[in-house]
Amino acid sequence: MIDVQKFLPHSMYSKYEELDLPKFPLKLGGNERDVFITLNLCRASPVFFINNFVEPIRRRYFKTSNYKDFTNVVKVTHEGLEAVDNLIDFMSSVDKAPVLTWDQDLADIAQANIPNVKIDTETSIKHSNLSNIDFSEFGINPNIKIYELVEAGSTIGFEAFTRCMIADGNFDQQNMNVVMDQGHAYVGVAYQENNNEHG
């Protein structure tokens, strides 16, 4: 098990408790828990998110567009630091948002949808087709709007979420806008070890 705290300037767990943010199910695995914590810290304190999560990732970019993840695997990105700096600019200008409550039905939907995730090898943009999921099986009204964000290749929860927020090759910046949308109230997270996927 990787000690994620050694990668961050401040303990995300201590900050989460300090802000008295929503509890998460104790049965959650480490990656799901860390994505949930990072997401709510992002919404509750954009400045803390920048300083504690985005900046440590920024320092792992080379002058080229290559990025060395926290397991020391070097990955090629499309925009390099420009995409990271765009996220910093966005988060510096956005208002904080209400934190999200864990919803197990949404987590179950994300888990069921992992086999449907496709990655465009040219753009690295992740696509997820929720149309294959029967929401009624999970007690969810099919008329409500559900967004799914996907990261493939990150095996550390906070890194997966933060990299998902970096709009590398995805110029509409949809993930940033979805995550900071003031109207959202619930979230579920899924993780699959063999594909390193989060939803």
13 sits in which H/E element: helix 12-18
**pLDDT in the model for residue 149:** 74
Crossing angle for the helix pair 30-44 and 157-165, to the nearest 10 degrees: 50
Q: How much is the pTM?
A: 0.85
Q: Give the model's pLDDT for residue 199.
A: 45
pLDDT at residue 123, rounded to an integer: 44
**Terminal alpha carbon distance of the chain:** 21
User: Any idea which residue has 């007690």 for tokens?
Assistant: 139
Q: CB 41: neighbour CB atoms within 10 A?
A: 22
pLDDT value of residue 19 = 95
CA-CA-CA-CA dihedral for 54, 110, 150, 190, to nearest 10? 50
109-136 pLDDT per residue, tens: 888 877 766 655 444 445 454 555 566 6
Q: What's the pLDDT score for residue 148?
A: 72
Whole-number Cα distances in Å, 62 to 5, 9, 87, 124: 23, 20, 17, 19
Mean per-residue pLDDT over the chain, rounded: 82
Q: Quick one: which of 151, 114, 107 has its CA closest to 129?
A: 114
| pLDDT lower than 50: segments of the chain | 121-125, 127, 129, 195-199
CB 178 within 8 A of CB 145: no
pLDDT of residue 77: 85
The rounded distance, in Å, linking the Cα atoms of 117 and 57 is 25
**Among 181, 29, 32, which Cα is nearest to 94's?**
181
Looking up tokens 């959650």, which residue turns up?
Answer: 28
In this prediction, residue 164 carries a pLDDT of 86
